Amino acid sequence: MAYDKLFQYYAHEQFLPTFGNFEDASKLAQYTAARRTVFAEKLLLPIRIFEGADVLEFGPDTGENALVFAQWGATLTLAEPNLHAHGQIRQYFKRFGLNDRITNLRSDDIEAFASDRKYDLIDAEGFIYTVQPTSLWLSTFSRNLKPGGYAVVSYYETRGTFIELVLKAIHSSCKQLTALEPVAAAEKLYRVKWDSIPHTRAFSSWVRDVLENPFVRLRYFLDAADLCRQANDHDFDVHSSWPLYRDLLDIYWHKKALAAEELLRRNISHLKRSPISFLSGQKLYLVGKTEEIETVTALVDSLVAEVDALIDNPFGDRLRPFLLGLQQLRRLMRTANILVDEPKAIDEFDALLESLELIFGAVKTRNVDEISRLTSENPAFIAAWGMPTHFLVLRKRFAPQQAPSS
């Protein structure tokens, strides 16, 4: 079945993707601590910014994040188009004595949202990349934020989502070779990998939200540099991000104020050196010449496109160029100029690429037992998750940027 919007997929499947089942205050406290780490330490947003703030959250799902914002002192407008989630939101807020923090629970999606009210902060996490074109939600944010207000988004970044696409392609091959149902096929492939990390949701929920989700595909993902350009065009500055979109090695006199266009140029220059870091989920920063960076980036983009195509046809004509691309990237990584924290990072990335060669080699021979053995036993594959989810905090300018005079 085709879906126009992500919430329609969730509603049709009748599941709530982020439901954490917070039965008592201890579970909520644990989740709140994790959110504090993200907002205060990684996104450089002091928690006190929420005290008395008017916060608009798009797509809160069952309301776990909204509970945290309410605890921090925010007054909330929640816009959740999946009506199946509304009951759980109300149960949560009643259970934890926070009903007075919700001023409005609406069923609008971003396209339909309209308000006379201006907000201090807008939060839209997880789904935002599926709202296209990107200019649509950037315009909605700009209209509804106060000058100096913040917008917090998390989204799937194109190169960072390589491993997610790999998992979907392998899963697709297993389903075709075994005729297993999606969750059973994923159990066969990824139970060991899943159990190697902490998580707050059920394995079956992850299968439906990632492996089976029709929106976890290349055509929806956002390129970090392009997103920064579009945000700049909508009078937003980058306040912070995770991973970092600003070059922390950049240095200049503290009294010097850089123009928005110059800040954007520096951010994009930094992002151009980060494709392997995003793909691998660790620092593998390209420090060579422009030609070398462009060669590596083009190969990464080709691999992302090839593996996305393999989701639809895992045994098709895109398998051979994908395997060749993995081999080429291994060769390039041995000669490229790369900044790392520890030399073993390059060896670890090489081991990951080798594991993918072995797994997709088994896909080529249609050996499902070997595929399952490798996905369950290869340590490099088990440890690899990439950097699919990026957080970006935008700050609305106090005055629109003036076009340069001719």
Report the alpha-carbon distance of residue 215 to residue 102 in Å, rounded.
Answer: 30
Hey, how many other C-beta atoms are within 10 angstroms of the C-beta on 4?
A: 8
Per the listing, tokens 């002192």 go with 73
Of 3 and 29, more confident:
29
Q: Dihedral sign, CA of 55, 144, 16, 221?
A: negative
pLDDT digits 0-9 by tens, 273-302: 999 999 999 999 999 999 999 999 999 999
Q: Assign residue 140 the CATH number of its domain.
A: 3.40.50.150
Q: How far is CA 254 from the centre of its chain?
A: 32
Per the listing, tokens 């100029």 go with 337
Same domain, 167 and 150: no
pLDDT digits 0-9 by tens, 308-334: 999 999 999 999 999 999 999 999 999
Same domain, 19 and 146: yes
Task: Kindly compute the dihedral angle of the four CA atoms of residues 21, 26, 29, 34, in this order, to the nearest 10 degrees.
Answer: -70
Same domain, 40 and 166: no
Same domain, 45 and 177: no
By CB atoms closer than 10 A (0-12, 13-18, 19+), residue 344 is exposed
**Would the pLDDT of 77 be above 80?**
yes
Range with lowest mean pLDDT among 2-16, 184-198, 278-292: 2-16
Same domain, 27 and 128: yes
Q: With cut-offs at 50, 70 and 90, classify the pLDDT of residue 406.
A: very low
Q: Could you give the percent of the chain with pLDDT greater than 90?
A: 84
**Would the pLDDT of 190 be above 90?**
yes
Report the alpha-carbon distance of residue 37 to residue 58 in Å, rounded.
Answer: 21
Same domain, 174 and 317: yes
Same domain, 44 and 121: yes
Residue 356 within any structural domain of the chain = yes
Residue 297 within any structural domain of the chain = yes
Same domain, 54 and 183: no
Same domain, 78 and 25: yes
Listed residue (112, 99, 28, 95) closest to 65, CA to CA: 28
Tokens coding 312: 């639809």
Residue 226 within any structural domain of the chain = no
Report the alpha-carbon distance of residue 59 to residue 71 in Å, rounded.
Answer: 19
Q: Which helix or strand (DSSP H or E) is residue 187 part of?
A: helix 182-195
Q: With cut-offs at 50, 70 and 90, classify the pLDDT of residue 404.
A: very low
Same domain, 193 and 135: no
pLDDT digits 0-9 by tens, 96-128: 999 999 999 999 999 899 999 999 999 999 999
- Adjacent-strand bridge partners of 394: 151, 238
**Would the pLDDT of 64 be above 80?**
yes
Residue 220 within any structural domain of the chain = no
Residue pair 157/221 in contact by the 8 Å Cβ criterion:
yes
Residue 379 within any structural domain of the chain = yes
Range with lowest mean pLDDT among 12-16, 143-147, 225-229, 330-334: 12-16
Q: With cut-offs at 50, 70 and 90, classify the pLDDT of residue 405.
A: very low
Listed residue (383, 355, 166) closest to 174, CA to CA: 166
Q: Which residues in 296-327 are b (16+ Cβ under 10 Å) and which e?
A: bbebbbbbbbbbbbbbeebeeebbeebbebbe
Residue 404 within any structural domain of the chain = no
Q: With cut-offs at 50, 70 and 90, classify the pLDDT of residue 199.
A: confident
Strands 75-79 and 119-125: unpaired
Sheet holding 236-242, edge to edge: 102-106, 75-79, 54-58, 119-125, 145-156, 389-396, 236-242
pLDDT digits 0-9 by tens, 380-399: 999 999 999 999 999 999 97
- pLDDT at position 400: 64
- Adjacent-strand bridge partners of 141: none
**Would the pLDDT of 401 be above 70?**
no
Strands 285-286 and 338-339: antiparallel
- pLDDT at position 23: 80
Of 135 and 252, more confident:
135
Same domain, 64 and 105: yes
Residue 335 within any structural domain of the chain = yes
**Would the pLDDT of 237 be above 60?**
yes
Q: With cut-offs at 50, 70 and 90, classify the pLDDT of residue 14.
A: low
Residue pair 66/45 in contact by the 8 Å Cβ criterion:
no
- pLDDT at position 207: 95
Angle of CA points 63, 389, 240, to nearest 5°: 90
Report the alpha-carbon distance of residue 75 to residue 46 in Å, rounded.
Answer: 17
- pLDDT at position 403: 47
The total number of structural domains that make up the chain: 2
Same domain, 151 and 166: no
Question: Which residues form the domain of 142?
Answer: 6-156
Hey, how many other C-beta atoms are within 10 angstroms of the C-beta on 69?
A: 26
Report the alpha-carbon distance of residue 246 to residue 163 in Å, rounded.
Answer: 24
> Which residues have a Cβ under 8 Å from the Cβ of 95 and sit 6 or more positions away?
22
Q: What are the φ/ψ torsions at residue 85 (nearest 5 degrees)? A: -85, -20
Of 85 and 17, more confident:
85
Residue 281 within any structural domain of the chain = yes
